[in-house]
Structure 1
Amino acid sequence: MFNEERRFEQPIRWAMVGGGRGSQIGYSHRSAAQRDNLFQLVAGAFDLDAQRCKEFGTNVGVSEDRCYSNYQEMFTKESQREDGIQAVSIATPNSTHYEICKAALEANIHVICEKPITFTTEQAEELKALSIEKNRVLGVMYGYTGFPMVQQAREMVKRGDLGDIRVVNMTFAHGFHNIEHEKNDPGLKWRVSPEVSGPTYVLGDVGTHAFYLCELITGLEVKRLSCMRQSFIESRAPLEDNAHVMMEFESGAVGTLWASAVNAGAMHQQKIRIVGEKASIEWWDEHPNQLKYEVQGEAPRVLDRGMGYLYNDVDGVASNRIGGGHAEGYFESWANLYHRFALAFQAADNDDQEALANLWYPDVNAGIEGVRLCEKCVESTDQNAAWVDYK
């Protein structure tokens, strides 16, 4: 079971950039960060409007004098305080991630950033080098990877329960943007605007989630890929609202990724199926407490979170917050990740590089590969779905 007694001498002093009034993702960050009393929200640049920022910040318990009109002011003034912030979460549109991450790292502040962390791998690699230089952690919010059954799947692959991996089928194909909703939805409008969203829409927005599940669970490395992108809502071009990717991995395994916002009638449809020489597993984020396990020649079975037959000696699997049979969900997954980020921040602050190296969390490398995926898919599409080398 989850260790609720883990404590620091003082909670990590934490701030947010973005995520203000009406932000669903901002609420997700705050709920996750404060679940285990390892973080305390003490400052924020929650809104571009200074008055709205102060109103919102004070309403969620932040002192008025620590509600800042912009992130530059916050980083400067907080760095001058003895009780200044130690970490910041970035929940702003994509085009701002690079500059805010860079400014935070230069101010010696740990970072948790929404993805994509940058528009280019060159920028992402620059942030990685800076984080190493400053001995600061740069984490990426791949929020679905905190589910215990994802960690169970990872451990099953690692222990050879499936045999050699042959096929990976990745899907994140919802239907919520099947028509031009952005006409009346500012929150969607920026996601389909290249200058703010970057070179992709659904590949960066949802496809990277499914791709990181593959990376995390299987450890496979992509050798080359081929991508087709479509803009079924024509006004979204050149950004895609549907994409199909074929992949070849270095091991000889193959994979497919379907990312879509126009899968009419579907909720998330975020699924990953991993086919090995002996067995297959399948996980679906709409039913996150179960993992399908199908061994050739045996009756299919469904593994349930919290049960004694799982690999409960693995820290990630042992993050169950309540016994089996009870539903755990999205907020528990996010809280598990924030718990891991806190441990990573502590290890870096103590310069415990061994502990940091042995702790899994979605790190800057996960962010780099998400950016690389988008870049390579655009490159392939621009060459009529040609196969392109991944690295």
Structure 2
Amino acid sequence: MFNEERRFEQPFRWAMVGGGRGSQIGYAHRSAAQRDGLFTLVAGAFDLDPQRCRDFGTNLGVAADRCYAGYKEMFEAEAGRADGIQAVSIATPNSTHYEICKAALNAGLHVVCEKPITFTTEEAEELKALAADKGRVIGVMYGYSGFPMVQQAREMVQRGDLGEIRVINMQFAHGFHNEEYEKNDPGLKWRVSPQASGPTYVLGDIGTHVFFLGEMITGLEVERLSCMRQSFIPSRAPLEDNAHVMMQFKGGAVGTLWASAVNAGSMHQQKIRIVGAKASIEWWDEYPNQLRYEIQGEPARVLERGMNYLYQDAAGVSANRIGGGHAEGFFESWANLYHRFALAFDAADRDDQATLSELWFPGIDAGIEGVRLCEKCVESADQNAAWVEYK
């Protein structure tokens, strides 16, 4: 079971950029980060409007003089305080991630950033080098990877329960944007605007989530891919609201990825199916406490979170926050990741490289590969779905 007694002498003094009033993602970050007592929210640049920022921040319990109208002002002011911030989470539109993350690292802060972390792999690689130079850690918020049964799936693949991996089918295909809702929804408007969102919409916004699960669970690397993408709502062009990707992995495995916001009637349909030579597993985020396990020649079975037949030394068991049969969900997954981010930040502060090398969490390399996926899909789609080398 989850170890709730793991504590530091003092929690990390933590701030947010973005995530102000009405932000669903901002609320998720705050709920997850503070759940285990490893982070304390002491400052924030929640809103570009100073009055709104101060009003919102003080309602959260942040001192008025530590509610800032901009991240630059916050980083400078906090650096001059004996009790200044040690870590920051970035929950702003995509176009701002690179500059804010770079400024945070230069200010000596650990970072948790929403994805995609940058618009280009070159920028992401620059942040990786800067973080290494500063001895800081970057966590990237692939929030679904904290579910215990995703960790169980990873352990099963690593132990060879499926045999050699042959096929990976990935999809994240909801239907909530099947019409031009952005006309009256500012939160969606920026996601379908290239200036704020970057070169992709659904590939970067949701496709990277399930792609990371595929990478994390199997450990396989893409060799080349072919992508076709569509803008079924014409005003979203050149950004896609639907995309299909075919992949070839190093070692011979193949895969597909379907990312869509126009799968009418669907809630999420984020699923990943991994097919091996001996068996297959399938996980669906709408039923996150179950993992379907199918061995050739045997009846299909459903593995349940929190049960003793799961691998006891896997994160899939140690991350359980309540016994089997009770529902765990989105906030628990995010809290599991923030717990790991805190352990990584602490190890970096102590220069404990052994712990850092053994600790799994979605870090800068995960962020780089998400950006690379978007770049390569655009490159392929612009050449009429031509096959392109991944690296």
TM-score normalised according to structure 2 size: 1.00
Correspondence list, 1:60-139, <5 A: 60-139=60-139
**Which residue pairs with 2:165 in the alignment?**
165
The offset of 1:318, in angstroms, is 1.2
Separation in structure 2 between the aligned mates of residue 317 and residue 41 of structure 1, nearest angstrom: 29
**Which residue pairs with 2:377 in the alignment?**
377
**Which residue pairs with 2:323 in the alignment?**
323
- Partner SS, residue 315 of structure 2: coil
Q: Please, what is the CA RMSD of the aligned residues?
A: 0.4
Correspondence list, 1:336-375, <5 A: 336-375=336-375
Could you list the per-position Cα deviations for residues 320-344 of structure 1 after superposition, in whole angstroms to 9, with x for gaps in the alignment?
0000000000000000000000000
The offset of 1:236, in angstroms, is 0.1
Separation in structure 1 between the aligned mates of residue 357 and residue 161 of structure 2, nearest angstrom: 26
Separation in structure 2 between the aligned mates of residue 145 and residue 96 of structure 1, nearest angstrom: 24
Amino acid at match of 2:46: F
- Partner SS, residue 116 of structure 1: coil
Amino acid at match of 1:114: E
Amino acid at match of 1:110: H
The offset of 1:363, in angstroms, is 0.3
Could you list the per-position Cα deviations for residues 2-53 of structure 1 after superposition, in whole angstroms to 9, with x for gaps in the alignment?
0000010001000000000000000000000010000000000000100000
Amino acid at match of 2:368: I
- Partner SS, residue 117 of structure 1: coil
Amino acid at match of 1:368: I
The offset of 1:315, in angstroms, is 3.3
Gaps of 5+ in 1: none
Separation in structure 2 between the aligned mates of residue 266 and residue 2 of structure 1, nearest angstrom: 33
Separation in structure 2 between the aligned mates of residue 381 and residue 99 of structure 1, nearest angstrom: 28
**Which residue pairs with 1:145 in the alignment?**
145
Separation in structure 2 between the aligned mates of residue 304 and residue 286 of structure 1, nearest angstrom: 14
Amino acid at match of 2:263: N
Separation in structure 2 between the aligned mates of residue 86 and residue 103 of structure 1, nearest angstrom: 13
**Which residue pairs with 1:183 in the alignment?**
183
- Partner SS, residue 223 of structure 1: strand
The offset of 1:314, in angstroms, is 1.8
Could you list the per-position Cα deviations for residues 339-361 of structure 1 after superposition, in whole angstroms to 9, with x for gaps in the alignment?
00000000000000110011000
**Which residue pairs with 1:216 in the alignment?**
216
**Which residue pairs with 1:10 in the alignment?**
10
Contact persistence 2:226–2:246 (CA under 8 A):
yes
The offset of 1:316, in angstroms, is 4.4
- Partner SS, residue 306 of structure 1: coil
**Which residue pairs with 1:301 in the alignment?**
301
Separation in structure 1 between the aligned mates of residue 54 and residue 35 of structure 2, nearest angstrom: 24
Contact persistence 2:148–2:315 (CA under 8 A):
no
**Which residue pairs with 2:203 in the alignment?**
203
The offset of 1:120, in angstroms, is 0.2
Separation in structure 2 between the aligned mates of residue 236 and residue 382 of structure 1, nearest angstrom: 16
Separation in structure 1 between the aligned mates of residue 377 and residue 191 of structure 2, nearest angstrom: 18
The offset of 1:212, in angstroms, is 0.1
Correspondence list, 1:246-265, <5 A: 246-265=246-265
Separation in structure 2 between the aligned mates of residue 126 and residue 4 of structure 1, nearest angstrom: 36
Separation in structure 2 between the aligned mates of residue 315 and residue 173 of structure 1, nearest angstrom: 27
Contact persistence 2:183–2:189 (CA under 8 A):
yes
Q: 1:328 to 1:284 in 2, by over 3 A?
A: same
1:32 and 2:43 correspond: no
Separation in structure 2 between the aligned mates of residue 159 and residue 142 of structure 1, nearest angstrom: 24
1:276 and 2:263 correspond: no
Separation in structure 1 between the aligned mates of residue 251 and residue 352 of structure 2, nearest angstrom: 33
Amino acid at match of 1:322: I
- Partner SS, residue 139 of structure 1: strand
The offset of 1:251, in angstroms, is 1.1
Could you list the per-position Cα deviations for residues 252-307 of structure 1 after superposition, in whole angstroms to 9, with x for gaps in the alignment?
00000000000000000000000000000000000000000000000000000000
TM-score normalised according to structure 1 size: 1.00
Separation in structure 2 between the aligned mates of residue 236 and residue 304 of structure 1, nearest angstrom: 41
Amino acid at match of 1:5: E
Amino acid at match of 2:61: G
Could you list the per-position Cα deviations for residues 118-153 of structure 1 after superposition, in whole angstroms to 9, with x for gaps in the alignment?
000000000000000000001100000000000000
The offset of 1:313, in angstroms, is 1.2
Could you list the per-position Cα deviations for residues 54-111 of structure 1 after superposition, in whole angstroms to 9, with x for gaps in the alignment?
0000000100000001000000010111110000000000000000000000000000
Separation in structure 2 between the aligned mates of residue 93 and residue 69 of structure 1, nearest angstrom: 16
Structure 1 segments of 4+ aligned residues over 6 angstroms from their partners: none
- Partner SS, residue 145 of structure 1: helix
Separation in structure 1 between the aligned mates of residue 319 and residue 194 of structure 2, nearest angstrom: 38
Amino acid at match of 2:227: C
**Which residue pairs with 2:311 in the alignment?**
311
Separation in structure 2 between the aligned mates of residue 313 and residue 389 of structure 1, nearest angstrom: 37
Could you list the per-position Cα deviations for residues 224-251 of structure 1 after superposition, in whole angstroms to 9, with x for gaps in the alignment?
0000000000000000000000000001
Gaps of 5+ in 2: none
1:22 and 2:19 correspond: no
Separation in structure 1 between the aligned mates of residue 313 and residue 154 of structure 2, nearest angstrom: 13
